[in-house]
Structure 1
Amino acid sequence: MEYFSYALQLIVGLSLLNVWLLQYNKPTQWRGGNAQNIKEEFQVYGLPVWMCYAVGTLKVIGALGLIAAIWFPELLRPCAIGLAILLAGSVVMHFKINDPLKKSFPALLFLSMCVYLALSI
């Protein structure tokens, strides 16, 4: 079971790092509304630009924490809970603007993985 948790930590951590560091300015099928990048997505949600930076910073820290928790297990629960809260916010924002359920899928999937990780220790 330990290796399964490590796999989830790596999947969530690396995926979030990919979104926030590599795909930040690129359009994807998962962006809210018709946004072409993350800043536009936050505008579609009616959120200020500073919140984009705050959420991004917290998600990158949480993602790095999930990966680091493989070696420092005391980081697992706080990082998983923090990311679960942020991901729940992502899902709520998609529903707020009436996005199709498909656009919420990655956030819902990673949310469920984070909840599992938070409860598994």
Structure 2
Amino acid sequence: MEYFIIALQLIVGLSILNVWLVQNQKATRWRGGNATTLAEEFHSYGLPDWSLYVVGFIKVVLSLLLIAAIWYPELRFPAALGLAAMLTGSILMHFKISDPLYKSFPAALFLVLCLVIAFVPGG
């Protein structure tokens, strides 16, 4: 089970880093509203400009902590739970603007994975 949890940590951590650091200016089918970038997505949600930077900082730090938790297991629970809270917020934003359900799928999937990481014993 330990290697399974480590794999999930890498999948979640690297995926979120990819969204925020690599794909942030690229259109995807998962973006809220008709947004083509993360900044446009936050505007679609009616959020202020500064919130993009705060949320981005928090998600990047928590993702790095989740990866670091492979070597420092005491970080695993707080990093996974913190990301789960942020992903819950992402899902709620999609609901707020009445996005089609499929647009919430990545956030919902990673929310479940974070809960598994946080609560399933990993070794």
**TM-score, normalised with respect to structure 1:** 0.98
Residue 71 of structure 1 aligns to a residue whose secondary structure is coil
| Rounded Cα–Cα distance in structure 2 between residues aligned with 1:88 and 1:19 | 16
What's the CA shift string for 1:4-57, capped at 9, x where partnerless? Answer: 100100000000000000001111110000001001100000001111100000
* Equivalent residue, structure 1, for 2:110: 110
| Rounded Cα–Cα distance in structure 2 between residues aligned with 1:106 and 1:28 | 11
State the superposition RMSD in angstroms: 0.6
* Equivalent residue, structure 2, for 1:29: 29
Could you tell me which runs of 5 or more consecutive residues in structure 2 were left unpaired when the two chains were aligned: none
Residue 35 of structure 1 aligns to a residue whose secondary structure is coil
| Residues matched between the structures, number | 121
User: Whose RCO is larger (CA < 8 A, sep 6+)?
Assistant: 2
Equivalences for residues 56-71 of structure 1 within 5 A: 56-71=56-71
What is the identity percentage for the equivalent residue pairs of Structure 1 and Structure 2? Answer: 63
* Equivalent residue, structure 1, for 2:97: 97
* Equivalent residue, structure 2, for 1:74: 74
* Equivalent residue, structure 2, for 1:41: 41
Report how far residue 96 of structure 1 moved.
0.7
| Rounded Cα–Cα distance in structure 2 between residues aligned with 1:49 and 1:32 | 15
Residue 20 of structure 2 aligns to a residue whose secondary structure is helix
| Rounded Cα–Cα distance in structure 1 between residues aligned with 2:120 and 2:61 | 21
Letter in 1 for 2:11: I
Report how far residue 117 of structure 1 moved.
1.0
Residue 35 of structure 2 aligns to a residue whose secondary structure is coil
Equivalences for residues 3-18 of structure 1 within 5 A: 3-18=3-18
Report how far residue 76 of structure 1 moved.
0.3
